[in-house]
A = this chain, B = another copy of it.
Amino acid sequence: MKEIDDVVNQLKFDEKGLLTAVAQDYKTGEILMLAHMNEESLRKTIESGQAVYWSRSRKKIWHKGEESGNVQNIKEFLIDCDGDAIVMKVEQVGGAACHTGNRSCFYRKLEKGRLVDVGFKVFDPEKVYKKK
């Protein structure tokens, strides 16, 4: 698709072929997670309208929610000034983005020099990821 090629050409993948992607709740503005995309996952993201990342730990394409069902439907897709980062405003199906069951991966907050858990737990990961 020519349109996707135009977009891909304006992005700058790093020396590992990755760019950084941030998912943000489209209604509340809460930042849900930060992950990475290679060109293939970026194309799949744009084509499918759902977030598809590159898992650096598992070294494979990772269609977010493929196991938990918690897919991210993209409402808005933004790129930054130097083209190496994107923000997706998403509808987080299931209400939780984090594999820990928290709504957001950013559930630890610095308070008076200590990290405090301020997460909102949506599910029990042991029940959702049965293969664990």
Contact = CB atoms under 8 A, between A and B. Distances in A.
Q: Please tell me how many copies of the chain the complex holds.
A: 2
Interface string A97-116: 01110100111111011110
A113 B78 contact: no
Given A76-B109, A82-B105, A87-B106, 12 more contacts: A6-B114, A7-B110, A20-B34, A22-B22, A24-B29, A29-B30, A78-B109, A79-B108, A79-B110, A79-B115, A81-B105, A81-B107
A25 to B, nearest CB: 9
Contact of A113 (B4, B81, B85): B4
B78 A110 contact: yes
Interface residues of A, number: 41
